[in-house]
Amino acid sequence: MLGPVKQSDDFPYWLVLLGGVVAYLGYQVVADDLYAQVLGTLSKGIKITVIVTLVGFALASALGLLLALMSTSRSIIIRQIARLYIEVVRGIPIIVLLLYTAFVVAPALVALANWVLAFFDAELMRTRHFPLLWRATLALAIGYSAFIAEVFRAGLQSVDHGQIEAAHTLGLNRWQRFRYIVFPQAIRTILPPLGNDFVAMVKDSSLVSVLGVGDITQLGKVTAAGNFRYFETYNVVALIYLTLTVSLSLLLRRFERHMRQPTHD
């Protein structure tokens, strides 16, 4: 019969093994000139990966929170609009959404903005001047907003309704109830899955390479095509992503444990 596993007995042997692999690859980078050269080239793409992830996740979180609030609205029209957006976006693969946003949605937004500004004898930009970097970031924000919306909705609905009614009785308006009662309690439920989505976006940011954006993956493809050393090049690509994602996962787990600890007056 299986019993519960104590966290104190669950030694992270996987982390030791992974640390050994990372240490070996790190040694190769230091000792092998080819590895060092590849890392030097790929390090230029880390900035792009970080920008795409941070900006995309911030936009996705803001849009996801808005969609979650719309999903819990009293208006059936607003609720149905939110559900339509969420179900449609979740049903489209990220790479398809990336291409559709880059070559359909982004040009349409530019054309709409220019049409509005035409009344003021102004123009935002030409479609070809809309950088592919920001098209890709917009696509990731749209794609992840649907998933983050469900995370926010579940967290908001986990708050005891009795506390909300008590706050209403005390005279707090809807915004005050959300700010002081609902959101501070919901954030404890929201943070763990939200952190997982952030780590997932770090990995999915590699999809922007299909648009030619110079992130880690794109630079890796270009480098491997030039030196024909695919094994060494993609070892370094994997090392960079592993370092980013595992470090983030460990930090998020530590933060979750801190959030679970009871507060003392």
**Does 19 reside within a domain?**
no
86 pLDDT band, cuts 50/70/90, is very high
Whether 10 is in a domain gets the answer no
How many structural domains does the chain have?
Answer: 1
Is residue 26 one of the residues assigned to a domain? no
> Which residue range(s) make up the domain with 100?
46-253
Whether residue 28 lies inside any domain: the answer is: no
Closest CA to 138 of 197, 245, 211, 70: 211
Other beta carbons less than 10 A from residue 174's beta carbon: 11
- Identify the top-confidence range among 11-15, 38-42, 205-209, 229-233: 205-209
Q: Which pLDDT score is estimated for 265?
A: 46
User: What's the farthest any 2 CA atoms get from each other in the chain?
Assistant: 76
CATH of the domain at 84: 1.10.3720.10
Average pLDDT over residues 236-263: 81
Helix (H, G, I), strand (E, B) or coil at 26: helix
According to DSSP, residue 119 is labeled: G
Residue 32 lies in a domain: no
Residue 260 lies in a domain: no
Helix %, strand %, coil % for the chain, to 5?
A: 85, 0, 15
pTM of the model: 0.84
